[in-house]
Amino acid sequence: MLKGDMEVMYLSANEIEQLEGVEKQHFLNPEALRINKSLGDAVGLRNLGVHQVLVPAGHYSTEYHVHYYEEECIYILSGTGVATLGDQQQRIGPGDFIGCPINGQAHDMFNDGTEPLVCLVIGQRLEQDVTDYPKLGKRLSRNSGEWTVVEHAAITTVRRKKA
């Protein structure tokens, strides 16, 4: 067994079960609630975020959003719910996979069932990212650990992206 070693590379299913989850409410949406276990942190990953996320019944996984830089994806482990992907609604369940290409469609998940919705959420960890929250009309900029938010209405676009 590697337990007790300085470098832990392995977590058994049982050890993951025993990990204490961290309750996280989204800073822009009190209805978005998750119990988070960072598997990646537990084994020393730094550039990949790998989380076992439990969304309680009646809650969103996150505020509806889209990233500019950080790719993200979700693999459903158990439970059911509905994902909003752009303007589409998609029922989701165990073994389903959702990819969130950057600069694409905004997305969230809602647990409309009675059981917890449990999934692996995997994402890049970049020093810089920009995240848009279209329903709230807000933009988050993350720069080396500093998070700032502005209203979309306060943003002046000086030059457009090249196509």
Residue (34 or 138) nearer to its own copies, CB = 138
Residue (57 or 147) nearer to its own copies, CB = 147
The token pair at 119 is 């999934």
Element holding 69 (H helix, E strand): none
Element holding 113 (H helix, E strand): none
Distance CA 35, CA 19 (A): 11
The b/e string for 39-64 (b: 16+ C-beta within 10 A; e otherwise) is bbebeeeeeebbbbbbbeeebbbbbb
Among 25, 48, 112, 137, binds its own copies (CB under 8 A): 48
Measured distance between the N- and C-terminal CA atoms of the chain, rounded to whole angstroms = 53
Q: Is 36 near its own copies (CB under 8 A)?
A: no
Q: Which one-letter amino acid corresponds to residue 96?
A: D
- Considering only residues 69 through 128, tell me which ones interact with its own copies, judged by CB under 8 A: 69, 71, 73, 75, 83, 85-86, 88, 90, 92-101, 104-105, 107, 120, 122-124, 128
Q: Is 4 near its own copies (CB under 8 A)?
A: no
Q: Which residues of the shown chain bind its own copies in the complex (CB under 8 A)?
A: 1-2, 5, 7, 9-13, 16, 27, 39-40, 42-48, 50, 68-69, 71, 73, 75, 83, 85-86, 88, 90, 92-101, 104-105, 107, 120, 122-124, 128, 130, 140-141, 143-151, 154-162
